[in-house]
Amino acid sequence: MTTLPQSTAKKLGLVIDLDICVGCHACAVACKEWNTGAYGAPLSDQDAYGAEPSGTWLNRVHSYEVKPKEGPAQIIHFPRSCLHCEDAPCVTVCPTGASYKRAEDGIVLVNEDRCMGCGLCAWACPYGAREMDMDAGVMKKCTLCVDRIYNDNIPEEDRVPSCVRTCPANARHFGDFADPDSAVSRMTAERGGFDLMPDQKTRPVNKYLPPRPKTDATQTAGGCGKPATATPQPGGLLGWLDRALAVID
């Protein structure tokens, strides 16, 4: 079985803001495109234009209707990908050493040349973040675009995961959680960022920022959270006429 490093120099990961994610799936599409044209083997699709298409996606977005204890129900768009856990069970269960966690930055990767497609890592992952590529016969997962974030041949502003660079709502952020002064660390502390399924004790690096409570639509007018204002009532002759017609109706 594969062992995990006792510690990592960095803890690279994502912060995902559930308050502003609009569920547009741009992150998933950008991830599919980048990883198909760059690192590793292409992410294959089966029967893409048929009645039952399927394929390999390293990033997916699920949408849920949530009813808080207080306030109206709201739609939460929940992006899901590998969380690059500190105690990654997908690594320790791997019989060939194909799954491993890098000591220099904490990124969890798969050596596709050593993967035999047994599926144990997918079984061990509590987040469903691993997918079998049916064409390649090996497991695929989010790499944090490792071939992109260290690429000196592209502009510095592009040296972030493709999903982060693409997000039109700026709901995704990338950085080093080992640095308490990094933007992702400060954001997590200030907004109460949380782990997904902490009871699993995997210590995921990626964090989620909770959605803020929404205002009841019946208390607002015109959208944009503006408070409703009372409609002015006509006075004088017009007011009398309005009340008289209302009685007739």
Question: What number is the average pLDDT over the span 39-53?
Answer: 86
What is the predicted pLDDT for the residue at 183? 97
Which of 45, 21, 4 minimizes the C-alpha distance to 164? Answer: 21
Q: Has residue 230 got a pLDDT over 60? A: no
Question: What number is the average pLDDT over the span 185-203?
Answer: 97
C-alpha 151/C-alpha 96 separation (Å) is: 29
For the stretch 73-110, what's the b/e string if a residue is b when 16 or more beta carbons lie within 10 angstroms of its beta carbon? eeeebbbbbbbbbbebbbbebbeeebbbbbeebbbbbb
What is the predicted pLDDT for the residue at 36? 87
Please report which confidence band the pLDDT of residue 173 belongs to, taking 50, 70 and 90 as the band edges.
very high
Question: What number is the average pLDDT over the span 223-248?
Answer: 61
What is the predicted pLDDT for the residue at 41? 66
Q: Tens digit of pLDDT for each residue in 63-112?
A: 999 887 877 888 999 999 999 999 999 999 999 999 999 999 999 999 99
Question: What six digits make up the tokens of 58?
Answer: 């390293």
Which of 105, 100, 111 minimizes the C-alpha distance to 40? Answer: 111
Question: What number is the average pLDDT over the span 197-208?
Answer: 97
Q: Has residue 201 got a pLDDT over 80? A: yes
pLDDT above 70 coverage of the chain, percent: 84
Q: Are 49 and 177 in contact (CB under 8 A)?
A: no
Q: Has residue 243 got a pLDDT over 90? A: no
C-alpha 10/C-alpha 225 separation (Å) is: 40
For each of the domains in the chain, give its residue range(s) and CATH number, in order of start. 12-219 (3.30.70.20)
Q: Has residue 144 got a pLDDT over 90? A: yes
Q: Has residue 215 got a pLDDT over 80? A: no
Q: Tens digit of pLDDT for each residue in 7-42?
A: 999 999 999 999 999 999 999 999 999 988 766 668
Torsions phi, psi for 31 (to 5 deg):
-65, -45
Question: What number is the average pLDDT over the span 179-192?
Answer: 97
Instruction: Give the contacts of 203 (CB within 8 A, at least 6 positions apart).
Output: 85, 86, 87, 195
Please report which confidence band the pLDDT of residue 225 belongs to, taking 50, 70 and 90 as the band edges.
low
C-alpha torsion sign, points 178, 184, 186, 189: negative
What is the predicted pLDDT for the residue at 233? 63
Q: Tens digit of pLDDT for each residue in 101-143?
A: 999 999 999 999 999 999 999 999 999 999 999 999 999 999 9
